[in-house]
Structure 1
Amino acid sequence: MRAVPGQETSPDSSMYEPPTPTSSDIYPPTYHYSPDLTSFTPTGYNYTPQTTTSTIPFEITPDYVVDSTTFGDVRQTSLDPLPDSGAMSPVVSSGKGGEVFSPADPEQLAEIIARWVADAHLRTCLYSTEHILDVMRKQSPDITNINYYKNMAHEELWYDCAQKLTSVIQQIIEFAKAVPGFRKFSQDDQIVLLKAGSFELAVLRMTRYYDVNQNCVVYGDTLLPMEAFLTTETVEMKLVNNVFEFAKTIAELKLTDTELGLYSALVLLQADRPGLRGTDEISKLNEAVGRSLCLELEKTHRYPVKGDITVYAFLLAKMPALRELSMLHQEALSKFKRNAPHLQFSDLHKEIFNVDS
């Protein structure tokens, strides 16, 4: 069975602090990245070039579902094989005697996409929602832990955060590979999308760990406020502050896991990333995921965020802020590496962010 959407919710009033988006704001502008497309071969994740098709590049088999056995272990580092999204076309198997059909009903197709993306999202989260909520219920910010991180050496703090970020990115790569149609794209396009979107998706995943009641984030097995991560570097301070503000804004929407997974896929599948070639196929899949997200939100978030702005439009309007966070992270990382060229991060971290010492 598919992930069950949460109760109908109305966003907390504190989220209205950002400027109210208008209809002209919901289409994000083009931002320029400079990914090195020749070097990305992260250890353990092999990409096979795929040929593109002129049809919508995904297929879905509805008998592959999420159930209560998906989260046998709280820390989901050992995953069952995910379905290969590289063999996907618009054909759907009924699961009865090999009979197949093409879903003519857009809502039916959106429902199936939601189930697949939710499955990919849930199976590639490092910690289950139940575990995160349990930490939030049982713990409060501890001054000893806060001081430990505040007094941590600058390089040590960067290294610790980079290790945790790399673990999340490993799961994001698995998530992308399981999104219907993603592996239909060329190898180069997969690389561009992952390198451009990995930090943005990591920030979205952080929203699962954000406790809006205590303004803290679950970090490992403890709760930490923003000040635990602040340094004396201006760019780093801005990055930490903006990431926490963004996480709070999205967390206050109380998206279901299905909706957060679909929003993550929508952010990943941006056809305006510089260097992409198969933009038509990426745009088609992006539109299909967008329709699915819109229908899911209509079930649980019927009330507008403010005025006539729907939650879906609000989420679209936040996408430029995600890109700004990604560029700010790149700026902070580049400056840090110039000052600490001897500190080496993991190969995957170096491949994704492409920062030379």
Structure 2
Amino acid sequence: MSREAVKFGRMSKKQRDLLQAEVKIQLMKEQQMQLPSIPFSADTQGDKTALPSSSERPPSFVSVSWTGHSKWDTSCSARPCPVPKTHPSVQNHHPEKLPTEMGSRKSYFRDHQTYLEHSRLNIIQRLPPSIQSPECYGSPNFSSCLLSDRLISTVELDLLMQNVVCAHRETCKFHQENLQVMRWEAFSPAEIQSFQQKTMDEMWERCVCHITDAIQYIVEFAKRLNGFMELNPNDQIVLLKAGAMELLLIRMSRAFNCYNSTIYFEGKYAPLDLFQSLGCNDLISAMFDLCHSLCDLNLTEHEMAFFSSMVLLDPSQPWLQEKEKVENLHVKLELSFRQLLRRTHRESILCKLPQKGRLLSICQLHMEKLNIFRHMYPGIAWERFPPLYKELFVSETENP
């Protein structure tokens, strides 16, 4: 065998290190390419992470109808979450080295594939017995790590975790720190009486505008979740129509003071009886009780972000055209959520989170109260309520 054959048939340690680094970069690029690029109308002035106040938005609340569109312009000028740069920079290989490294590169890929298969086996063996079997897929408990015959890697789950948390943080109107500072700013008895003296239609219109404003942020949250904008337009609308109010209920707990049972409303914390003129004390009481339950869990912003995303991407919703895609996204969220809880030793909260039925019952009660209001004040919903609220909760067939 000639010296040249021996020389070019082997690789130095430095060359092998460079090749390994290049493979890692390629794997990271492939994972980052899966992150959807969603256009937003970014506000380049001021704080790059802060969302604009409601006073900065156009009065129409939403500038385009949902129907027939796969993307919504909710006039929310939040900046998109940047993709973190986790791969190191590597020097380019010299052109003359490429032919000599092809054989070793193929060998390295074979070795890397063997290593991945070995890692998959180890990870699955460390899972609880209840989720090691593929038959557990889609069960009420957390599903199998096997999704579409491939393992969801730890790196992929970490990237998903960053995406969900970033989407939540950048689409919350108020930072938790600011709410904590203002939590003892309460309405005076005279101010509470002033709200109680408002007419029902005036108070409903006022609250509906606040609900719509909050839902705009929820739409932005959905748009930023990995995979949501890849769903077909019908499924995007189905999930948002079904889940927007449920996410609103979850997010309300961030602005709830469980020590005196008040909630942040128009700059101060309001007690339940401030909303007396709405004529739906049972609905407000149910909302306050849910907030109490969530506050008792002391959910972190990370945990609330995952809980919200899993409630939104619910594969059990009817009328989904591509249920399997939604199911796959939901399973990934479940696994990433469990990984987060395992790291923080908080897995015990899983069985304490509000059940789907409880959220659904409050949403149904909201619809009942809305229908009662519309019978008492015919036409006001179509004349005064924002378009986004009507798109979600008021049927066109019921338009008087």
Determine if the TM-score, normalized by the shorter chain, exceeds 0.5.
Answer: yes
The CA distance in 1 between the partners of 2:390 and 2:51, in whole Å, is: 30
1:257 equivalent in structure 2: 301
The CA distance in 2 between the partners of 1:250 and 1:301, in whole Å, is: 18
Query: Quick check: 1:347 aligned with 2:384?
Result: no
SS in 1 for 2:183: helix
The CA distance in 2 between the partners of 1:141 and 1:299, in whole Å, is: 41
Greater shift in the superposed pair: 214-223 or 181-190: 214-223
- Indicate if the aligned counterparts of 1:60 and 1:113 stay in contact, CA closer than 8 A: no
Query: Quick check: 1:338 aligned with 2:375?
Result: yes
Q: Which amino acid aligns with 1:354?
A: V
1:79 equivalent in structure 2: 77
- Indicate if the aligned counterparts of 1:265 and 1:289 stay in contact, CA closer than 8 A: yes
1:268 equivalent in structure 2: 312
Residue identity over aligned pairs, in percent, reads 24
Q: 1:291 Cα deviation (Å)?
A: 1.8
Q: Which amino acid aligns with 2:281?
A: M
TM-score by length of 1: 0.70
Query: Quick check: 1:133 aligned with 2:180?
Result: yes
Q: 1:60 Cα deviation (Å)?
A: 4.0
Question: In the TM superposition, what whole-angstrom CA distance separates every residue of 1:322-345 from its partner, at most 9, and x where no partner exists?
Answer: 111111111111121121123120
SS in 1 for 2:317: coil
Q: 1:299 Cα deviation (Å)?
A: 4.0
Query: Quick check: 1:123 aligned with 2:163?
Result: no
Pair 1:277–1:74, CA change in 2 (3 A):
closer
- Indicate if the aligned counterparts of 2:239 and 2:314 stay in contact, CA closer than 8 A: yes
> Which 5+ residue runs of structure 2 have no aligned equivalent?
1-30, 37-46, 57-75, 93-111, 117-149
Q: Which amino acid aligns with 1:207?
A: S
Aligned pairs (5 A) from 1:34-45: none
TM-score by length of 2: 0.63
Q: Which amino acid aligns with 2:232?
A: S
Q: Which amino acid aligns with 1:190?
A: Q
- Which is richer in helix? 2
SS in 2 for 1:230: helix
> Which 5+ residue runs of structure 1 have no aligned equivalent?
1-55, 62-68, 86-91, 304-309
SS in 1 for 2:320: coil
Q: Which amino acid aligns with 1:277?
A: Q
- Indicate if the aligned counterparts of 2:51 and 2:171 stay in contact, CA closer than 8 A: no
Pair 1:154–1:80, CA change in 2 (3 A):
closer
- Indicate if the aligned counterparts of 1:71 and 1:128 stay in contact, CA closer than 8 A: no
Pair 1:272–1:131, CA change in 2 (3 A):
same
The CA distance in 1 between the partners of 2:271 and 2:315, in whole Å, is: 35
The CA distance in 1 between the partners of 2:277 and 2:362, in whole Å, is: 17
Choose which of 243, 247, 255 in structure 1 pairs with 2:291: 247
Query: Quick check: 1:325 aligned with 2:362?
Result: yes
The CA distance in 1 between the partners of 2:77 and 2:343, in whole Å, is: 30
Q: 1:75 Cα deviation (Å)?
A: 4.5
- Indicate if the aligned counterparts of 1:60 and 1:93 stay in contact, CA closer than 8 A: no
Choose which of 186, 200, 208 in structure 2 pairs with 1:154: 200
Q: Which amino acid aligns with 1:201?
A: L
- Indicate if the aligned counterparts of 1:142 and 1:223 stay in contact, CA closer than 8 A: no
Aligned pairs (5 A) from 1:1-357: 59-60=34-35, 71-72=49-50, 75=53, 79-82=77-80, 94-96=86-88, 106-137=153-184, 139-231=185-277, 233=279, 236-300=280-344, 302=346, 310-315=348-353, 317-343=354-380, 344-355=384-395, 356-357=398-399
Q: Which amino acid aligns with 2:312?
A: L
- Indicate if the aligned counterparts of 1:74 and 1:128 stay in contact, CA closer than 8 A: no
Aligned residues: 278
- Indicate if the aligned counterparts of 1:212 and 1:251 stay in contact, CA closer than 8 A: yes
Pair 1:141–1:268, CA change in 2 (3 A):
same
